[in-house]
């Protein structure tokens, strides 16, 4: 059970999150890099994210393979090319449910809902801002170390997921989705996300 | 005066003996409450299964719990659910407690290598390069999916995803919603399923389990902010038993008070009142002792009905008291009526023997209890009571109102055609009755309030708990053959679900395939060298770390030499418990039971019996139990008819006069028929309880007819007979009339039937038996007049 918030997010963070609210539906191109310890090389994916309002999310992978994931009404449907669609209920995976709900809250500008699940820290730098969301519930923390959101003004540029086993996934959004990376390392991508590198 | 100390001595000895017997009985008496004692012994495997399932099937032993609150948060309720599940899990009264926490569908880690034999993957696939390459590509896609963190822990050991396949296979089609990690309904109330060890229709054991449940709940922090609602078959049986007992106790208490008052008015003696208790107390104690000795545990219903049926014995002291006449000792007074009383006792015993012939353990207990009770009460009336009665008494024949009543009765016109008219009317009413003759649904007699039943249905649906009425039954020589049969109809079951005939069919082979299937899958597992080479080849174009899948190679290697999993070995794993509940051995053959959820079209499911030539059947517990009840009720009905014949013979032999016997049997039979007809025309469908009540009323009616038919020349003796009968009728109508006002149908059935019956018996005996008297008198006068 999540404990009562020990440190509430700052008014600035709350204001920022509220300004991040996307109109529903919105579609955003993304480029994702996944660092997985069982793989010798990071996975690189490209596609489009869909936000259809509270609880309705979609992720389409266009490259290097084609896959569509739709999340609505607590059901996840995964459609892979040449395979039958698979559906499963998020109720069977509460950690996943919390993560997706948080993602939906972030896109919906719902600061209260986010603050209930995460401790939220905000920093500002020359080129923009960074939100660090650390899960409060131990069963979520078992899988997810933190969620880092980088942005500039009212625009989210990157969402980085640090898993507890050291694996990480960085998703560059909209403008950053099409840029090429100088080097595929966590540090290099972090720089791109902060906007302090070549850009 | 010499008699005084003698009387006191006898009463003292009786008291000591009674107290001693009561002590022994109380120490050794075990009261059971399993309603199945009132079902006939099973003859076929199916009936045995039915009886097992009615009370002990997993579906019927489930209690459905709902914890709702207007104030507590979802997290708070989830915490209560968690704590309750934890505290009940360690209680021996409960087999399992489910609240949605923990993954039930998980394969025991010790059995992981068996996954290749349990999962259907190898039925169609081979672990070759093409298959493995496709699987590895899918795992890479999994790693890029939102669910990656959940799948990663098993990746190295299970690149073909067998663990997930089994988990999906073993997850029920309909699972409850989840709120904060536990089951809940759409309102956010948390839900739990509790399986009791006690059978559903053992109200005492269920009551104990529910009490424990409520105690555990009350102890939880925050429990006072929320309400625990219990539902399910076990809870309903407790509810029925409790309301029945409460009403029966209250109405019997009222009846007893009225009875005491009646005796005081009738005999104006507190002493007689106390003495009147001697035969019935002796009889009841002896009955309990004898039944306990013969059968061991006595059923609660036996006790309740036994005391009711023993009510006949209350007439014995009344006959003795009313027939006491001036100028004669109690012994001498009794001698005049004893032959009739003896005949009445013998006849009642014959009638109750019918219950013994039913073959139903509960009814045999009832017969033993009642017959022993009546014999002992009769003996106490004959040999004990007269020697302890006070010397001073009031001859009831002196009462003036009695004489007036007798004269009024005597001057009533003797309408010989009345019985025939009544017979015709009864038959017409029986034919014209608006409802089915028999009430086969025993539960209709102790009905569950509709709103509770509705709530139970909602809870069952929300929890996806199996149907309590329908089961799919497989029969085969071995457990493995049952599993093979189950595999054979899997496609059919899937088709049913697809057509919406049923929401889910939980087949035994869903958990464990037959040995043949396991061996076939095992034979398709490649050896380590072949698999290693194929895996290397498949992995070549991927970025997976080399050597990553060593645990997979180890598992496949281990699986190649495993002995196939038997139901017994599987039972030890967490999911194995489900399979064990689905397999049972009966007389050297094996039965498999598949539970069904949400049956929408039972007819479609019934066709499976023809397509499998009877090896798989749809068992409808409701209709099966109804037919079982119907078959033994028919036996009891037949036994009662035989009893009537025997009883008539006994009366005829005792009288050595068929005509006189007819005048006793005819009013008794007609009154019984009339009571039956009136019940039927009022829309009452008959149950076992009505038969018991009609038998009791007939036993009482026999007394009235016997005593009215008795030819007496002395007017004062006729008055005494009338007095005794009036006291008996009034007491019976009072006690049972009160029971007839109950809100519980079973009590109402007994009360109304006996009260009605007694009233008819009295009226008809007055008309018909006294007709006989009158005719005898006419004959006698005629004979006298002829010479």
Identify the domain containing residue B137 by its residue range: 106-170+515-561
Number of structural domains, chain A?
1
Contact A38 B138 (CB under 8 A): no
Q: Which range in A126-140, B199-213, B514-528 is most confidently predicted, on average pLDDT?
A: B514-528
Number of structural domains, chain B?
3
In a domain, B189, yes or no: no
Using a pLDDT cut of 90, give the percent of chain A over it.
28
pLDDT digits (tens, 9 = 90+) for B553-607: 999 999 999 999 998 888 877 777 778 878 878 778 888 888 888 888 888 888 8
Is the minimum CB–CB distance between A40 and chain B shorter than 8 Å? Answer: yes
Distances (CA, A) of B588 to B43, B45, B197, B475: 15, 11, 25, 11
- With beta carbons less than 8 A apart as the criterion, state whether B386 and B323 touch: no
In a domain, B195, yes or no: no
In a domain, A69, yes or no: no
CA distance B552 to B454: 51
CA distance B148 to chain A (A): 9
In a shared domain, residues B295 and B343: yes
In a domain, B573, yes or no: no
* A27: CATH: 2.50.20.10
In a domain, B242, yes or no: no
Tokens of B536: 């290397």
- With beta carbons less than 8 A apart as the criterion, state whether B696 and B308 touch: yes
CA distance B180 to B67: 14
- Report cis status (omega within 30 of 0) of the bond before A25: yes
Mean pLDDT of B710-736: 84
Report pLDDT for A3: 41
In a shared domain, residues B729 and B770: yes
In a shared domain, residues B304 and B384: yes
Of B367-376, B471-480, B632-641, B739-748, least confident by mean pLDDT is: B632-641
Residues of A in contact with B543 (CB under 8 A): 39-41, 43
In a domain, A64, yes or no: no
Contact A88 B168 (CB under 8 A): yes
Report pLDDT for A132: 94
Tell whether the model's pLDDT for residue B254 goes beyond 90.
no
Residues of B in contact with A96 (CB under 8 A): 146-147, 149-150
Contact A167 B155 (CB under 8 A): no
Place of tokens 């002395």: B714
* Secondary structure class of A148 (helix, strand, coil): strand
Q: Which range in A46-50, B237-241, B749-753 is most confidently predicted, on average pLDDT?
A: A46-50
In a shared domain, residues B666 and B765: yes
In a domain, A57, yes or no: no
- Please tell me what DSSP assigns to residue B469: S
Tokens of B142: 């999994």
In a shared domain, residues B367 and B280: yes
Say which residues have a Cβ less than 8 Å from residue B491's Cβ, sequence separation at least 6: none
Cβ-count burial B189-225 (b if 16+ within 10 Å, e if not): bbbbbbbbebbbbbbbbbbebbebbeebbeebeebee
Using a pLDDT cut of 90, give the percent of chain B over it.
19
CA distance A112 to chain B (A): 16
Provide the β-strand partners of residue A119. Answer: A134
Report pLDDT for B779: 61
In a domain, A168, yes or no: yes
pLDDT digits (tens, 9 = 90+) for A33-85: 999 988 989 999 999 999 888 778 899 999 888 999 998 877 888 888 888 88
DSSP codes, B28-75:
H--EE--GGGGSPPP-SHHHHHHHHHHHHSTTTTEEEEEEE-SSS-HH
Partner-chain residue, chosen from B149, B178, B543, that has the shortest CB–CB distance to A143: B149
Of B138, B136, B150, whose CA–CA distance to A81 is shortest?
A: B138
Contact B146 A100 (CB under 8 A): yes
Determine if the pTM surpasses 0.90.
no
In a domain, B182, yes or no: no
Is the minimum CB–CB distance between B186 and chain A shorter than 8 Å? Answer: no
Tokens of B16: 């000591």
Domain boundary among B561, B577, B596: B561
Residues of B in contact with A144 (CB under 8 A): 149
Contact B75 A167 (CB under 8 A): no
Contact A40 B180 (CB under 8 A): no
Count how many Cα atoms sit within 13 Å of the Cα of residue B757 in the half-sphere of its side chain.
28
In a domain, B579, yes or no: no
* Cα end-to-end distance, chain A, whole Å: 42
- With beta carbons less than 8 A apart as the criterion, state whether B701 and B757 touch: yes
- Please tell me what DSSP assigns to residue B191: E
In a domain, B695, yes or no: yes
Is the minimum CB–CB distance between B140 and chain A shorter than 8 Å? Answer: yes
Tell whether the model's pLDDT for residue B42 goes beyond 60.
yes
Contact B175 A43 (CB under 8 A): no
Is the minimum CB–CB distance between A112 and chain B shorter than 8 Å? Answer: no
Contact A65 B175 (CB under 8 A): no
Is the minimum CB–CB distance between B104 and chain A shorter than 8 Å? Answer: no
Q: Which ipTM score applies to this complex?
A: 0.87
Identify the domain containing residue A136 by its residue range: 11-45+93-194
Mean pLDDT of B533-540: 92
Residues of A in contact with B144 (CB under 8 A): 32, 34, 43, 45, 61
In a shared domain, residues B134 and B153: yes
* Cα end-to-end distance, chain B, whole Å: 52
In a domain, B647, yes or no: no
Give the best residue of B144, B156, B179, B190 to mutate against chain A (max A CB count within 10 A): B144
CA distance B726 to B758: 11
In a domain, A150, yes or no: yes
Say which residues have a Cβ less than 8 Å from residue B313's Cβ, sequence separation at least 6: B279, B280, B283, B373, B374, B377, B378
């Amino acid at each position: 059970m999540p404990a009562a918030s020990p440190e509430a997010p700052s008014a600035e963070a709350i204001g920022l999150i509220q300004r991040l609210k996307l109109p529903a539906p919105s579609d955003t191109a993304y480029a994702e890099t996944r660092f997985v310890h069982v793989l010798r090389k990071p996975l690189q994916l490209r596609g489009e994210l869909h936000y259809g309002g509270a609880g309705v999310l979609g992720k389409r992978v266009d490259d290097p393979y084609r896959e569509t994931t739709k999340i609505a009404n607590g059901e996840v449907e995964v459609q892979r090319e040449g395979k039958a669609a698979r559906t499963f209920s998020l109720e069977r995976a509460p950690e996943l449910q919390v993560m997706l709900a948080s993602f939906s809250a972030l896109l919906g500008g719902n600061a209260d809902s986010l603050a209930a699940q995460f401790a939220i820290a905000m920093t500002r730098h020359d080129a923009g801002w960074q939100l660090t969301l650390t899960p409060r519930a131990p069963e979520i923390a078992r899988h997810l170390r933190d969620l880092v959101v980088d942005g500039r003004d009212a625009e989210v540029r990157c969402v980085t997921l640090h898993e507890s086993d050291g694996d990480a996934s960085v998703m560059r959004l909209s403008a950053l989705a099409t840029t090429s990376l100088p080097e595929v390392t966590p540090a290099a991508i972090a720089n791109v996300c902060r906007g302090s590198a070549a850009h | 005066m010499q008699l005084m100390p003698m009387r006191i001595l006898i009463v003292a000895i009786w008291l000591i003996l009674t107290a001693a017997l009561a002590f022994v009985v109380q120490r050794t008496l075990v009261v059971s409450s399993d309603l199945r004692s009132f079902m006939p012994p099973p003859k076929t495997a199916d009936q045995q299964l039915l009886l097992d399932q009615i009370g002990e099937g997993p579906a019927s032993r489930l209690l459905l719990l709902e914890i709702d609150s207007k104030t507590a948060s979802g997290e708070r309720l989830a915490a209560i659910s968690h704590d309750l599940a934890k505290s009940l899990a360690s209680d021996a009264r409960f087999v399992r407690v489910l609240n949605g926490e923990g993954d039930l569908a998980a394969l025991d880690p010790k059995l992981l290598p068996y996954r290749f034999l349990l999962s259907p993957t190898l039925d169609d696939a081979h672990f070759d390069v093409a298959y493995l390459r496709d699987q590895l590509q899918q795992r890479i896609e999994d790693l890029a999916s939102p669910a990656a963190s959940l799948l990663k822990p098993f990746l190295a050991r299970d690149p073909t995803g067998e663990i997930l396949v089994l988990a999906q296979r073993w997850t029920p089609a309909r699972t409850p919603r989840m709120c904060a990690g536990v089951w809940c309904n759409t309102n956010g109330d948390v839900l739990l399923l509790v399986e009791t060890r006690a059978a559903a229709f053992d109200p005492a054991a269920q009551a104990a389990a529910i009490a424990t449940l409520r105690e555990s709940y009350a102890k939880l922090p925050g429990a006072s902010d929320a309400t625990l609602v219990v539902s399910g078959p076990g809870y309903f049986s407790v509810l029925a038993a409790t309301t029945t007992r409460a009403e029966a106790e209250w109405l019997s208490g009222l009846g007893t008070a009225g009875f005491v008052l009646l005796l005081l008015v009738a005999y104006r003696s507190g002493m007689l009142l106390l003495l009147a208790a001697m035969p019935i107390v002796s009889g009841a104690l002896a009955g309990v002792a004898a039944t306990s000795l013969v059968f061991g545990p006595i059923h609660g219903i036996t006790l309740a009905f036994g005391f009711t049926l023993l009510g006949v014995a209350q007439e014995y002291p009344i006959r003795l008291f009313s027939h006491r006449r001036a100028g004669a000792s109690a012994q001498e007074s009794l001698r005049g009526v004893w032959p009739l009383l003896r005949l009445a006792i013998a006849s009642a015993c014959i009638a109750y023997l019918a219950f013994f012939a039913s073959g139903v353990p509960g009814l045999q207990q009832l017969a033993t209890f009642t017959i022993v009770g009546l014999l002992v009460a009769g003996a106490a009336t004959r040999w004990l009571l007269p020697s302890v009665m006070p010397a001073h008494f009031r001859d009831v024949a002196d009462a003036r109102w009695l004489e007036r009543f007798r004269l009024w009765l005597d001057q009533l016109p003797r309408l010989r055609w009345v019985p025939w008219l009544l017979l015709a009317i009864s038959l017409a009413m029986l034919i014209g009755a608006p409802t089915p003759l028999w009430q086969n649904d025993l539960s209709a007699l102790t009905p569950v309030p509709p709103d509770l039943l509705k709530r139970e249905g909602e809870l069952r649906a929300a929890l996806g708990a199996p149907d309590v009425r329908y089961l799919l039954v497989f029969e085969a020589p071995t457990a493995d053959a049952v599993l093979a049969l189950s595999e054979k109809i899997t496609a059919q079951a899937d088709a049913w679900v697809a057509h919406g005939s049923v929401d889910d069919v939980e087949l035994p082979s869903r958990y464990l395939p037959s040995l043949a299937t396991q061996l076939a899958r095992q034979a398709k597992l490649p050896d380590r060298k072949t698999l290693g080479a194929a895996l290397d080849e498949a992995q070549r174009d991927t970025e997976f770390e080399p050597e990553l899948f060593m645990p997979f190679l180890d598992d496949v290697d281990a699986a190649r030499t495993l002995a196939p999993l038997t139901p017994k070995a599987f039972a030890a794993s967490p999911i194995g418990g489900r399979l064990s509940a689905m397999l049972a051995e009966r007389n050297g053959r094996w039965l498999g039971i598949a539970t069904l959820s949400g049956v929408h079209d039972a007819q479609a499911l019934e066709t499976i019996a023809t397509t499998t030539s009877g090896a798989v059947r749809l068992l409808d517990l409701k209709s099966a139990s109804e037919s079982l009840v119907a078959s033994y009720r028919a036996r009891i009905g037949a036994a009662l008819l035989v009893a009537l014949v025997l009883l008539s013979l006994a009366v005829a032999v005792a009288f050595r006069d068929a005509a006189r016997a007819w005048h006793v049997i005819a009013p008794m039979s007609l009154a019984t028929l009339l009571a039956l007809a009136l019940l039927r025309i009022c829309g009452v469908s008959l149950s076992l309880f009505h038969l018991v009540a009609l038998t009791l009323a007939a036993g009482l009616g026999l007394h009235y007819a016997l005593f009215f038919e008795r030819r007496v020349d002395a007017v004062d003796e006729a008055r005494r007979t009338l007095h005794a009968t009036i006291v008996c009728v009034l007491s019976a109508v009072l006690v049972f009339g009160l029971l007839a006002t109950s809100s519980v149908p079973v009590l109402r059935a007994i009360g109304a039937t006996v009260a009605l019956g007694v009233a008819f018996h009295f009226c008809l005996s007055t008309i018909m038996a006294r007709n006989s008297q009158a005719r005898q008198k006419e004959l006698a006068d005629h004979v006298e007049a002829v010479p």
